[in-house]
Each structure stands twice: as C-alpha cells, then as structure tokens.
C-alpha cells in the first residue's frame, strides 16, 4: 500500500507545482497585456490631442478622454492582479463598471451637443491613421485579455477586456465618422455611431453591477 501511495503523492505534488507555474505565467501575461494597453493609451492621448486641436474635432477629443478611462481600467486590473481576495475583486469590478458608466455618460453628452449644434469638424489624416491602428491593437489586446482571464479564472481581467473591446469599437466609430466627414461631408455620422457605444457600455456596466460576470 505504501509503495503505491508514494507515486500518487508525487504525482499530486507535481500537478500542483505545474499549476502554480502555469498560473504564474498567466499572471505575467495578464500584467504584460495591461502594461501594453497603458502604454498605448498614454501615447494615444498625446496623438489625439494634436489631431483634435488641428481638426477641431469633438470626436477625437472624446476618444482621447476614452483613452484616459482605459488607462484607469488597466491600472485597476494591475492592482487586482497584484493581490487576491474576494473583497478586492469586487472593488476592482465596481471600479471598472464605473469606468463604463463614465464613458457612456460622456458619449451621451457629446452626442447631444454635436447634434444640437450641428458642429462640423475639419478633416484629420492623423486621426484616421491613428484610429485604424488603435482599433486593430485594441481588438487584439481584448482577445488576449479574455483568453488569459478565462485561463486564470479572473473576472476582473475578462471584464477589463470588454472595456478594451469598447475602446476598439469606439475607434471604429470615430474612424467611420472621420472618413464619412472627409469623403461625403456627413458630419452627423460620428455622433450617430457613438450611440451604439453608449448602449454597449451601459449593458456591460449593468451586467457587472448585477453580478453577471466571470469565466
């Protein structure tokens, strides 16, 4: 009996050790994904500020503020990944939900103002190029966060991946508005696309507050 127990115990220890090593690798990957998101958005704020001022574009200015929200969400996840505990996880999720609400609130106000004023921004090649690259980068990062979060069993990382998805969707909406404004003079296309993002952000915030999150 004892001869059989030894290999079994060793196998269990080996399995636990492998799991610990795997989790450490996943945590490192999660932190790298968040660090990459932070760095991208820090650069993005500077680029968007220049593009928004040159074109006097409300949409580009709004996208810059969205980058600030994404920076905040990434910081929250890095904080959560550095420790454990259900209370810490709940606080992190509430902070991310607040970021969704802030984004939805800003876009709602921006959309109403732009429609009411009939504001027409200038053309921005820099804005178009940046939003194309940003959309591709954010969708790739969102996929990485979702996969890593599910492997780790981290609802916070999964949820922040949704924030990154919204960032990519918003980049597409801004891009569409910039292109249609430049090509056809359709100034209203950008605020109209923003309404879709508002709906998505509110839906995700409600899901978090209701506890419908996780792998």
In a domain, 159, yes or no: yes
Write down the pLDDT at residue 188: 80
In a domain, 92, yes or no: yes
Reported as type and span, the H/E element at residue 54 is helix 2-55
Write down the pLDDT at residue 43: 96
Per-residue b or e along 100-130, where b marks 16 or more CB atoms closer than 10 Å to that residue's CB: bbbbbebbbebbeebeeeebebeebebbbeb
Give the pair of three-digit tokens for residue 192: 């109209």
What CATH number corresponds to the domain at position 120? Answer: 1.20.1510
In a domain, 131, yes or no: yes
**Which structural domain, as residue segments, surrounds residue 185?**
27-209
Q: Is the pTM of this model over 0.85?
A: no
In a domain, 149, yes or no: yes
pLDDT, one tens digit per residue, over 125-158 is 999 999 999 999 999 999 999 999 999 888 888 8
In a domain, 14, yes or no: no
Q: Yes or no: say if 158 and 215 are a contact pair by the CB < 8 Å rule.
A: yes
pLDDT, one tens digit per residue, over 80-136 is 777 656 677 777 778 878 888 887 888 888 788 878 877 777 788 999 999 999 999
Please give the span between the terminal C-alpha atoms of the chain, in angstroms, as a whole number.
40
Give the pair of three-digit tokens for residue 156: 């916070």
In a domain, 8, yes or no: no
In a domain, 197, yes or no: yes
Give how many domains the chain has, as a whole number.
1
Asked if residue 213 has pLDDT above 80, the reply is: no
């Amino acid at each position: 009996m004892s001869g059989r127990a030894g290999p079994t115990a060793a196998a269990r220890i080996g399995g636990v050790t492998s799991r610990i090593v795997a989790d450490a690798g996943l945590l490192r990957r999660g932190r790298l994904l968040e660090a990459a998101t932070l760095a991208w958005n820090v650069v993005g704020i500077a680029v968007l500020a220049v593009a928004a001022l040159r074109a006097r574009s409300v949409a580009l200015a709004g996208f810059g503020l969205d980058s600030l929200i994404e920076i905040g969400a990434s910081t929250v996840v890095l904080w959560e990944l550095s420790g454990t505990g259900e209370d810490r996880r709940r606080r992190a999720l509430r902070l991310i939900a607040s970021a969704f609400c802030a984004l939805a609130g800003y876009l709602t106000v921006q959309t109403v103002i732009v429609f009411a004023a009939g504001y027409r921004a200038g053309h921005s090649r820099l804005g178009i190029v940046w939003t194309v690259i940003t959309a591709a980068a954010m969708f790739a990062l969102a996929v990485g966060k979702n996969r890593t979060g599910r492997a780790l069993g981290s609802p916070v990382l999964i949820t922040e991946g949704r924030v990154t998805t919204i960032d990519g969707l918003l980049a597409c909406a801004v891009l569409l508005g910039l292109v249609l404004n430049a090509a056809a003079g359709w100034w209203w296309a950008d605020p109209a696309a923003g309404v879709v993002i508002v709906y998505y952000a509110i839906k995700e915030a409600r899901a978090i507050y209701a506890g419908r999150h996780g792998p």
